[in-house]
Amino acid sequence: MNSAKKTYDYIIVGAGSAGCVVANRLSANPNNRVLLIEAGPRDNNVIIKMPAAMGLPLEATRYNWMFSSEPEPGLNGRVDVQHRGKVLGGSSSINGMIFNRGNYRDYDAWAQAGLAKWSYAHCLPYFKRMESFEGGANEYRGGAGPLNVKRCEAKGPLYDAFIQAGQQFGLPLSRDHNAAQQDGVHYVQATIRKGVRESTAASFLDPAADRQNLTVVTNALARKIIFNGRRAVGLEYAVNDKTFQAQADREVILCAGAIGSPHLLMLSGVGDRQQLAQHGVQSIHHLPGVGQNMLDHLGVPIQYTTHRDVSPVKQLSPVGRIVTGAKWVLAKRGLGTSNYFEVGSFMRSREGLDRPDIQQEFFPMIGLFHQGKSTATEGFQYFTSILHPKSRGSVTLKSADPTAAPALRFNYLTDPFDIKTLTDGVEMTREMVRLSAWDELRKGGFGNVTEMKTRAELENWVRDNSGSGYHPVGTCKMGFDDMSVTDEDGKVHGLDGLRVIDASLMPTLTTGNTNAPTIMIAEKLSDAVLGQALSPLNLRCA
């Protein structure tokens, strides 16, 4: 144990999508001494910076926790991999860079459930503050924030066919799905700036790097929160097998994500006392909701081959990758600047829904990378996801050892509602691909997708082929019922000086990718820490 205990006002655990934001906002006041610790390394590798190389950090355990679930009964006993960032920027440094705010009704539903300060009117000012939208600032969009958001160009026959097929199916074209109308097909918006990935490390942490009151420690594994009675007063962490302690005069703030934050709470004695006792962890505070209510988007890739060579496969061959990489390094242009997912859609599987329940993410080839090697083949795929599942899972301890991964049980598709809804989405996607917009390109289904004739066969195919959208939330949910972990300001119930600020706070999933909502949460609760708030904005949405 290092006996030199340094003192800070705020200790932030996790330099990910939320933690980098919180570190920037709290350290903007030079009187606040801020410590930010991150379990992974710095984010200065080209495979993180180049958007088209996004498959590579997913296969690199240096940057990816690469958690594995327990066998999932709803997936016919398969184990599902959960990619989570372990690097400055966290998952914003390894994700697909897709920027979706969600639906305004997501946040209004939180408010109606008792979280009055989380209505869309309360959240919109923070969505605006955090971004610089290349489409221009307006009543819905921000133009002067740290995070650059671009509208993808989506040039090519595959992208054109996707947009046309969606409209033939009856979906509207949404000009800005992050503004007044989410429903329909759209051109994806991405966190990319001048051809380079725009993680929260790049957009929020780098501009604050020279502040003398901000200390950033990488390769630092949080071991436990230190308590004095019911007050969090510090953190124990390890760097290169050496253990350190830091004191927090004001707050310890967990930004370790929907897996990391509940895991650290349980290691520190905060959680269900009976479950903690099974692993020899002394209970500091009985809080049974810690690690429960885990939600995630689940999707299935529906893949087709093509008649023509229209996928960017040649550019991903050994020679093609050299040329693509050179263009990116020298001029930040070409395929290297693309996240591939340049078009998408939000749609409703049935009448009577108040918001979309199915998302389609489109990929202009089959496959991408596996263990650092290109396995792309000609074709295209619709990654079709269920947006509001009823199945809920958990994060629990496997061991009191901080270096041991927790047990993840997502319980995907265990609720009959979920398998029905996702299979309905697959049926809709197959119908869409049969439309005339695809006639000149579509060859045949890949991976038996067109061979499933009966509903039972298709449902079983979905169970065999679906996987995580890597959007876990809810494991330290805000609220006031017996299974809530924090209040609406992220303060942990029953304890002092301890707050959670990350996706684990979401009581329910948002309608779409969760990175943008997580950044918004960090913006909003950074203000809560500082005792301030932006005024609500009341705008109408479709």
pLDDT of 361-383, one tens digit each?
999 999 754 434 446 788 999 99
103-155 tens-digit pLDDT: 999 999 999 999 999 999 999 999 999 999 999 999 999 999 999 999 999 99
- Which tokens in the block code for residue 64? 């990816």
Q: What is the pLDDT of residue 453?
A: 82
d(CA 166, CA 182): 14
430, 449 contact by CB (below 8 A): yes
Q: What percent of the chain has pLDDT over 70?
A: 98
Q: Check whether 156 has a pLDDT greater than 60.
A: yes
Going along the chain from its start, the domains and CATH numbers come out as 1-118+189-295+395-405+470-542 (3.50.50.60), 153-187+298-386+414-465 (3.30.410.40)
Q: What is the pLDDT of residue 369?
A: 47
- pLDDT band, very low/low/confident/very high, at 322 (cuts 50, 70, 90): confident
205-252 tens-digit pLDDT: 999 999 999 999 999 999 999 999 999 999 999 999 899 999 999 999
Mean pLDDT, range 2-30, rounded to an integer: 92
Mean pLDDT, range 457-480, rounded to an integer: 96
Q: Check whether 1 has a pLDDT greater than 50.
A: no
Q: Check whether 278 has a pLDDT greater than 80.
A: yes
471 is catalytic: yes
Residue 413 φ/ψ region, left for φ over 0, alpha for ψ in the -120 to 50 degree band, beta for the rest: left
397-437 tens-digit pLDDT: 999 999 999 999 999 999 999 999 999 999 999 999 999 99
Mean pLDDT, range 322-342, rounded to an integer: 91
Residue 339: which residues within 8 A CB-CB, separation 6 or more? Answer: 51, 52, 54, 96, 97, 98, 152, 188, 190, 192
Rounded to two decimals, the pTM is 0.97
d(CA 217, CA 203): 18
306-315 tens-digit pLDDT: 988 898 888 8
179, 140 contact by CB (below 8 A): yes
381, 302 contact by CB (below 8 A): yes
Q: Check whether 446 has a pLDDT greater than 70.
A: yes
Q: Which long-range contacts (CB under 8 A, 24 or more apart) does 133-140 make?
A: 133/189, 135/176, 138/179, 139/537, 139/539, 140/176, 140/178, 140/179, 140/180, 140/539
Q: What percent of the chain has pLDDT over 90?
A: 88
Q: Check whether 177 has a pLDDT greater than 60.
A: yes
Active-site option among 263, 279, 471, 493: 471
Rounded (5°) CA angle 528-533-539: 130
